[in-house]
Amino acid sequence: MFNLFRYFSTLSLILIGLSAGLLGVAYREISVRQLTTLAEERNMAMVRVFENAHGDQLASLLATSLGRDSDMLLEAPEARELQAGLARLMQGTATVGVTLYNRLGVVVFATDPEQVGEIRLGEQSLRTALAGTVSSDLIRHDSVGSTSARRTSRSDLLATWLPLGTPGQAAEGVLEVQQDVTGFLASFRRSQWIVTGVLVGVFGFLFLMQLLVVRRAQGIMREQSRSIEVSRNTLEVQVDARTQELRRANRLLEGEIAERRQAESKLNYLAYHDPLTGLANRRYFIERLEKSLVDAARKRHRVAVLFIDLDQFKQVNDSLGHVIGDELLVAVATGLSEHVRLIDMIARLGGDEFICVMEAVRTDDEVATLAREVIAAFDSPFRIGGHDLYLSASIGISVFPNDGDSVGDLLRNADTAMYRAKAMGRGHYHFYTPEMTREAQERIRIESLLRRALDNAELSVHLQPQVDARDGRLVGAEALLRWNSPELGEVPPMRFIPLAEDSGMIIPLGDWVLRESCRQVMAWEEGGFVLPQVSVNLSVKQLERPEFIDNLQAILNETGLAPSRLKLEITESVVMTVDNAFVLLDRLRRLGIGLALDDFGTGYSSLSYLKMLPVQQLKIDRSFVVGIGRNSEDEAIIHSVMALANSLEFDVVAEGVETEEQATFLTGAGCHQLQGYLHGRAVPAGEFRSRWSNLLT
Ligand code: C2E
Ligand code: MG
Ligand code: MG
């Protein structure tokens, strides 16, 4: 810290010393000047007194001095008168000597007679006076050699030299008057000591006071600096703590912000993505497509929407469970995102429905290439949970702006096109055409016509024979529904059965077919024609109805047909879709009704399922029979189905047998029964009877 005390005490000591010295010198100077002036005025007053009293003698002495020696001067009467007169005048005054000089600097008269006759022209003050100017000087006079009795041994005299004569002209002489100022000087010196003492005292006191003040100030400064130091330290600690606090708060805030952002982006992600596959969801897709359409309309671009539906996904999901189903969907999503280059966006709309968007479409070929790429992504099987799952995709395509200018229209039309693709079989794509909409409308029309068909007796049951493979004996017949509509003509079941299933019409239709078939068999029997067994196709929707078995029981009771002569054909999907299929089938079995697994080989029945199923018969699907003699793979499948059936003790019937070659192969493979055009198409009951009763009899 700055040492104010040392600095200030040194500086003020120097300043006080200096100012005291200067003051002393000035005081002395002023005092001497005052003294000189005072004494000089006194001397001049004395001179006037001398001139008044002895002016004549003085003038005469001067006038006559020239050419006289000192004795003559001493002896001159004027000198004697002066001596006596001046002694009187000087009596009681401080004037102690008078000397008169002539123009030549010769002492012509002096109160000290020894000086008379001396020439003192060399003295400066004398020359000044001769030039006409009064001057004074303080001289020190030693008593040695002095004649005056009044003088002290050492005295201080003030001598004043005054020019005599007419002012303005050269002086005729000079009068020197000496005044004793010893006492005066002594008192002056005394007062000088006193003043010096007082000054030293005052300055010393001031110095001390200053020192005290400065020392206090230094103390205050030290205290303040200490308290500043303390405050600074405290402040630093506080600032430090506050900084830490702020940093912590900042970190917390940052963490919170990051968390919130994460939560927001998660929410956002969830709102716009399918949680299972991570693909865009329906909402995201719609928003994105809307933007694309606006953009495309402005740039006059075309945008393709590809509606992808997985074939057989439902079967996988039903037979292998939802976990595998979910994994499969994820694998499909990954496959689509990775392998399909041309996609601008892919989304999952739900279930097994995926959708792709292709922007800035130049030609339909480009879209077709994309569709083929999508289909190719399903070429190799998906390996999930130890299963190799073969899937395929059906794709419906709509293109903006031709097939619709809104997201809704494009989606609906792509969906319509997808149904068309599905109808073409597995792994196909189809562009939307306006006819499809017409067809959709047609479907609606068919549906409404179908509702009336039952009441209008437009429906009939045809029968197709099933024969023993070894001897061609009639062992049964499959009842196949026919609809002869006045408006539509003959409508194939593949066209109206799915519609009836969708609309729920299949329930009354199915019941009707069952009743009609049973009734027919019993009617024939009464007429002497015995059909050993009749097969009726059963829809999933029928089996799902809780009252189905009671209904069936009622029909059997009503018609009187023995349950063992009724066979129900169910597809694998029936087994997989209906919740308690095993229980229901078991009940049917207990009633004595026969069960056949229709279209066998096209679904996903697992062996373990198959083993537990209470069915007696497998129906090898026509698609394999077609391959006989042409496709060794189909033949191999037929062999393995036969092996499987043998080991599980199922009967096997082959459907769609059209040629002798097929019949021979199937018989050779061990197939028990045959059904197909080779042995007869499905025909009306009358025709069937006339054909087969002949053979029977
Ligand atoms: P499905 O049960 O597999 O019936 C066999 C189909 O193959 C019948 O077609 C039959 O006419 C046909 N078919 C039989 N032999 C041959 C052949 O040698 N060559 C060819 N090309 N085809 C042959 P249909 O009658 O058109 O019936 C088609 C499908 O409609 C049936 O397939 C069945 O799933 C369904 N269906 C028919 N009637 C009913 C019914 O009353 N109820 C239910 N739920 N579905 C029915
Ligand atoms: Mg069938
Ligand atoms: Mg079939």
pLDDT band at 145; cut points 50, 70, 90: very low
Starting from the CA of residue 506, give the closest ligand: 1
Alpha carbon distances (Å) from 695 to 143, 189, 417, 691: 201, 183, 48, 7
Q: Name the least confident of 334-348, 353-367, 601-615, 677-691.
A: 601-615
Check residue 696 and give its pLDDT.
Answer: 55
Ligand 1 contact via 180 beta carbon (within 6 Å):
no
Check residue 608 and give its pLDDT.
Answer: 72
* Ligand 1: residue whose CA is nearest its atom 19: 656
Alpha helix ranges (H) inside 308-358: 313-320, 322-339
Ligand 1 contact via 676 beta carbon (within 6 Å):
yes
pLDDT band at 695; cut points 50, 70, 90: low
Check residue 158 and give its pLDDT.
Answer: 86
Residue 326's contacts (CB-CB under 8 Å, 6 or more residues apart) are 276
Q: With 90 as the cut, is the pLDDT of residue 395 above it? A: yes
Check residue 179 and give its pLDDT.
Answer: 87
Starting from the CA of residue 493, give the closest ligand: 1
Write the pLDDT tens digit of every residue in 354-378. 999 999 999 999 999 999 989 998 9
Ligand 1 contact via 516 beta carbon (within 6 Å):
no
Q: What is the DSSP string of 422-440?
A: HHT-SS-EEE--HHHHHHH
H-helix or E-strand containing 13?
helix 4-65
Q: With 50 as the cut, is the pLDDT of residue 148 above it? A: no
Q: Which atom of ligand 1 is nearest to the CA of 658?
A: 18
- What's the 23 CA to ligand 2 centre distance in angstroms? 145
Decide: helix, strand or coil at residue 156: strand
* Ligand 1: residue whose CA is nearest its atom 45: 537
Q: Which atom of ligand 1 is nearest to the CA of 619?
A: 3
Q: Which atom of ligand 1 is nearest to the CA of 678?
A: 18
- What's the 552 CA to ligand 2 centre distance in angstroms? 18
Report, as an integer, the average pLDDT of 667-688.
96
Write the pLDDT tens digit of every residue in 294-320. 999 999 999 999 999 998 888 788 888
Contact 647, 430 (CB under 8 A): no
pLDDT band at 450; cut points 50, 70, 90: very high
- What's the 117 CA to ligand 1 centre distance in angstroms? 188
The end-to-end CA distance of the chain, in Å, is 140
Q: State the Cα–Cα distance between residues 155 and 75, nearest whole angstrom.
A: 30
Q: State the Cα–Cα distance between residues 673 and 469, nearest whole angstrom.
A: 5
Predicted TM-score (pTM) of the model is: 0.51
Nearest alpha-carbon partner for 408 in 548, 305, 295, 300: 305
Strand runs labelled E in 44-110: 95-102, 107-110
Mutational pocket test of ligand 1: of 480, 490, 617, the residue with most ligand atoms within 8 Å of the beta carbon = 480
Starting from the CA of residue 480, give the closest ligand: 1
- Angle value at C-alpha 89, between 84 and 90, nearest 5 degrees: 95
- What's the 693 CA to ligand 2 centre distance in angstroms? 23
- What's the 480 CA to ligand 2 centre distance in angstroms? 8
Nearest alpha-carbon partner for 49 in 96, 90, 97, 92: 90
Q: With 70 as the cut, is the pLDDT of residue 444 above it? A: yes
* Ligand 1: residue whose CA is nearest its atom 41: 481
- What's the 445 CA to ligand 2 centre distance in angstroms? 26
pLDDT band at 146; cut points 50, 70, 90: very low
Which comes out higher in pLDDT, residue 64 or 432?
Answer: 432
Mutational pocket test of ligand 1: of 501, 536, 537, 674, the residue with most ligand atoms within 8 Å of the beta carbon = 537
Write the pLDDT tens digit of every residue in 575-624. 777 778 888 999 999 999 999 999 888 776 667 778 888 999 999 999 99
- What's the 480 CA to ligand 1 centre distance in angstroms? 6
- What's the 173 CA to ligand 3 centre distance in angstroms? 179
Q: What does residue 178 show for φ and ψ, rounded to 5 degrees?
A: -110, 130
Contact 114, 147 (CB under 8 A): yes
Tokens 């519609």: give the residue.
499
Check residue 605 and give its pLDDT.
Answer: 63
> Which residues place a Cβ less than 5 A from the ion ligand 3?
598-599, 655
Write the pLDDT tens digit of every residue in 165-221. 777 777 888 989 988 888 888 888 888 888 888 888 888 888 888 888 888 888 888
Contact 287, 268 (CB under 8 A): no
Alpha carbon distances (Å) from 88 to 53, 174, 367, 523, 691: 11, 21, 159, 205, 208
Residue 475's contacts (CB-CB under 8 Å, 6 or more residues apart) are 466, 467, 468, 532, 533, 673
Q: State the Cα–Cα distance between residues 530 and 525, nearest whole angstrom.
A: 5
Ligand 1 contact via 511 beta carbon (within 6 Å):
no
Q: Which atom of ligand 1 is nearest to the CA of 501?
A: 44
Report, as an integer, the average pLDDT of 411-423.
91
Nearest alpha-carbon partner for 79 in 49, 45, 112: 112
Q: Which two tokens stand for residue 271?
A: 């709102």
Q: Which atom of ligand 1 is nearest to the CA of 480?
A: 38
Q: State the Cα–Cα distance between residues 598 and 571, nearest whole angstrom.
A: 5
Ligand 1 contact via 156 beta carbon (within 6 Å):
no
Strands 429-431 and 459-468: unpaired
Q: State the Cα–Cα distance between residues 324 and 322, nearest whole angstrom.
A: 5
Handedness of CA 43, 45, 51, 53 (dihedral sign): negative
Query: Angle between the 407-423 and 282-299 helix axes, to the nearest 10 degrees?
Result: 110
Contact 459, 483 (CB under 8 A): yes
Nearest alpha-carbon partner for 639 in 627, 132, 551: 627
Starting from the CA of residue 682, give the closest ligand: 1
Q: State the Cα–Cα distance between residues 353 and 336, nearest whole angstrom.
A: 12
Average pLDDT, the chain: 88
Write the pLDDT tens digit of every residue in 461-504. 999 999 999 999 999 999 999 999 999 999 999 989 988 998 89
- What's the 655 CA to ligand 1 centre distance in angstroms? 9
Check residue 690 and give its pLDDT.
Answer: 93
Beta bridge mates, 654? 620, 674
Ligand 1 contact via 680 beta carbon (within 6 Å):
no
Nearest alpha-carbon partner for 626 in 574, 665, 667, 573: 665
Starting from the CA of residue 680, give the closest ligand: 1
Q: Which two tokens stand for residue 55?
A: 């002016």
Starting from the CA of residue 600, give the closest ligand: 3
Check residue 28 and give its pLDDT.
Answer: 80
Q: How many CB atoms lie within 10 A of CB 295?
A: 13
Ligand 1 contact via 413 beta carbon (within 6 Å):
no
Q: Which atom of ligand 1 is nearest to the CA of 682?
A: 11
Ligand 1 contact via 493 beta carbon (within 6 Å):
yes
Ligand 1 contact via 537 beta carbon (within 6 Å):
yes
Q: State the Cα–Cα distance between residues 589 and 605, nearest whole angstrom.
A: 19
Ligand 1 contact via 513 beta carbon (within 6 Å):
yes
Check residue 493 and give its pLDDT.
Answer: 95
What's the burial of 35, exposed, middle or buried (CB within 10 Å: 0-12/13-18/19+)? middle
Question: What letter would DSSP give residue 340?
Answer: -
Decide: helix, strand or coil at residue 123: coil
